[in-house]
Every structure is written in C-alpha cells, then in structure tokens.
Amino acid sequence: MRPMNECGQIVQVDNGNATIKVKRSSTCASCGACGMGAHQEDMLLTIPNRLGGRVGDYAELELSSKQLIKASAITYIVPLSALIVGVTGGYILGPMIGLDPELTGSIAGLTLTVLSFLGIRLLEPRFKRGHNFSPQMVKIIDMETKGEDLDGKQQSVRA
C-alpha cells in the first residue's frame, strides 16, 4: 500500500504548527481517515511545521500506509467488532433472562455500535494531539521553480 500524498498552501503559522488548506482529491475524499468525510471540497489541517514553512508556501503532505491502516481500523473495524459482539452476546444472553434472542441481539448490537462511535469521538482529541493520524509535511514546494527537473523529480528549494 502506497502512502497518500496531497499538496496544500500554508495559510497560518502559529506556535510551531502550520495550518494548511488542501483541496480534497478523489483519493482523499474516499479515505475518510481524517474524519472530514467527503462533504467539503477544501479542508484545513493543522500539523507540526517541522520544515519551517511560511504563510503562502505550498507544502507536500504525506499520510503513511501504516497510519492509514490504523485510522481505517479504528474507523471501521472497531464499530463492526462492537456490532458482532453485541449481536452475539445479546443472542446468547436473551434466553437466559427470558427475552427473545433476536430482539436482545439487535438491541445489544446497536447499543455497542453506538457506544463504540461515541468512544472513538471522545478519544478524537487525543488522536489529534499526538498527530499520529495526521499527514506529515514532507516537502516545501517553491512555486516559482515548481515542476520537474531533468530526472523527472519534483523540484524544491527547501526540504
């Protein structure tokens, strides 16, 4: 799996962080790792400014495959697992407490799924604070010399 790369313009620099305006590509819109969904054309990302970018600079951002897989697991596998555990547990426990197993399985599955989404939402500030699931700035692109050099590689003044 290849890392996901995007390019955006730095619109604000503050306390060692850069806020970058990124146009959402079709690949980016389908991912959902950042939790932004596909409803916005532009997104603002605040990430560590490790390369010393300035307002107006363009930066290349990268979300590694490992980060993408972890974010996808949290987004999809945790709620799905909660649903399966809830349905199975409710189906088993229902007859023990004198209720219809299908009804208790449905209620327990939906309840655990909702609780898993709430848990993910409550942990979101911790995920954002650690920047574990945020793209990282990998290159500052000089727009005056932007393009490809003779080797076909992206040119950059600062890296």
Q: Give the pLDDT confidence of 24-71 residue by residue, as tens digits.
A: 666 555 555 555 455 567 788 888 888 888 888 888 888 777 877 888
pTM of the model: 0.58
Residue 140: per-residue pLDDT: 84
Contacts of 88 (CB under 8 A, 6+ apart): 105
Secondary structure class of 69 (helix, strand, coil): helix
Nearest to 17 by CA among 139, 131, 123: 131
Residue 46: per-residue pLDDT: 83
| Sheet containing 4-14: order of strands | 42-48, 17-23, 4-14, 58-63, 136-141
Q: Is the pLDDT of residue 22 over 50?
A: yes
Q: Given phi > 0 = left and psi -120 to 50 = alpha, else beta, which region is 47?
A: beta
Please state, rounded to an integer, the average pLDDT across all residues of the chain: 79
Classify residue 36 by its DSSP letter. -
